[in-house]
Amino acid sequence: MSKPDNTPAGWLEARLPIISAFRREYVDFAMPRNLTYLWNFGAFATIALALLIVSGIFLALNYTPSVAEAFNSIETIDRHVSSGWLVRAIHMGGVSMLFAALYVHMARSLYYGSYKAPRELLWLTGLGLFILVMIAAFAGYILPWGQMSYWGATVVINAMNAVPLIGPALASWLLGGEGLGSVALHRIYVLHFVTAFSIIGVIVLHVAALHVVGSNNPTGVEPKTSADVVPFHPYYTTKDGLGLCLFLMVYAALIFFAPDLLTLANNYAMANPLVTPGDITPEWYFAPFYAILRAVPSKLGGLILTAGSLVVLFAVPWLDRSPVRSARYRPVLRWALLALFAAFIALGVAGMHKPTGLWLALSRISVAYYYAYFLILLPFLPRVEITRPEPATLRGEGA
């Protein structure tokens, strides 16, 4: 009979086995041996989100959600609060770093088929997380009450009004009055906070789903023996650690050397409802969806296309019927995917310019291909595509 463990850790483990659970899920957890650095971006996104939440709490201590004081409170944070400029730079830069990590994370999942069975729920929770991040980021973008904040919110409110039946009522509820004012700003402030903390709950679901089905890998082939896997620690803790060092170096460079690189200059002027900017331009991470919104002359049509570009992603696990997961072994799909990524980047570039001439044509071509990929190529390619043979084992793939 073994002696009872009378150490503090043993006492806690006997009553609440969190130490063994942590070791099982984050130390001994079996991971495919061949994961590349593309699998680090989930950790990057988590760190960026943690920094956003911590910095956001400190900013909230000095922010006033009213039309009369919002812009001035931001100026006070930047100029008078001790290290306020740094906290705000961390928050502003963190949004760009978070979206960059999420876009790479999603692109990797599309390329390697990480949405396929049995990982459908992992993909769906990830998309839910992405949409919550978009809502929180847009609400946060309005809070400084600069020119682009005000007119960006106006564009979205007008788009909401174009939705039949529920659109006007929803817009009226959000505004709380005749137009954008202190009531609307306060509600957007609350929405920003509630959504930010809701993201934490969805992350917990996302990670829980990952630990049930396990991680995908570049081959898309499931591990078959113990030789195909390695424990999470020390193999991937060190790999994630190195990646995080590089990620944080880029983050720091953005904060200290180019804090305004990804922010529009017009947003440093206080919102003026009487002066419309020459061109209402979104932040870079919203630009692809803004280009879709403006790709057609109809407000409702643009809104349907924009919403549909997200909704169609939820159907991807059922649109793609190929038994082969990874695009490594699907030569036609690989080029179709690369074209999809190029179309999305083209939408982002077009979204930063006026919807005229070349940019409008580029938006429409890119939107057409985006939908053609998901609704035509993805479902029908498995019928004609000749795939390459998959490896029988993950050994020899390298880590």
Q: Among 3.30.460, 2.20.25, 3.40.50, 1.10.287, name the CATH number for the domain at 281-387.
A: 1.10.287
Q: CA-to-CA distance for 178 and 147, rounded, in angstroms?
A: 19
Residues 144-201 have pLDDT tens digits of 999 989 988 888 888 888 888 888 888 888 888 777 889 999 999 999 999 999 999 9
Amino acid at 168: P
Rounded mean pLDDT of 256-268? 80
In 3D space, the residue among 294, 302, 301 whose CA is nearest the CA of residue 363 turns out to be 294
Residues 277-296 have pLDDT tens digits of 877 788 999 999 999 999 99
Higher-confidence residue of 5 and 214: namely 214
Reply yes or no on whether the pLDDT at 398 is more than 50.
no
In 3D space, the residue among 266, 272, 290 whose CA is nearest the CA of residue 354 turns out to be 290
Just list the catalytic residues: 211, 215, 239-240, 283
Rounded mean pLDDT of 15-35? 90
**How confident is the prediction for the chain on average, in pLDDT?**
92
Q: What percentage of the chain has pLDDT greater than the value 90?
A: 72
Superfamily of chain region 36-223+230-277: Cytochrome Bc1 Complex; Chain C (1.20.810.10)
Q: CA-to-CA distance for 53 and 65, rounded, in angstroms?
A: 18
pTM of full prediction above 0.85: yes
Rounded mean pLDDT of 385-393? 91
* DSSP assignment letter at 62: T
Residue 357 φ/ψ region, left for φ over 0, alpha for ψ in the -120 to 50 degree band, beta for the rest: left
Q: What confidence tier does 267 reach under pLDDT thresholds 50, 70, 90?
A: confident
Structure tokens at 153: 């919110």
| CB 300 within 8 Å of CB 356 | no
Q: Where are the domains of the chain?
A: 36-223+230-277, 281-387
Q: What are phi and psi of 285, to 5 degrees?
A: -75, -15
Query: Torsion over CA of 7, 10, 15 and 20, rounded to 10 degrees?
Result: 150
Reply yes or no on whether the pLDDT at 373 is more than 60.
yes
Q: What percentage of the chain has pLDDT greater than the value 70?
A: 98
Structure tokens at 27: 């130390």
Reply yes or no on whether the pLDDT at 222 is more than 80.
yes
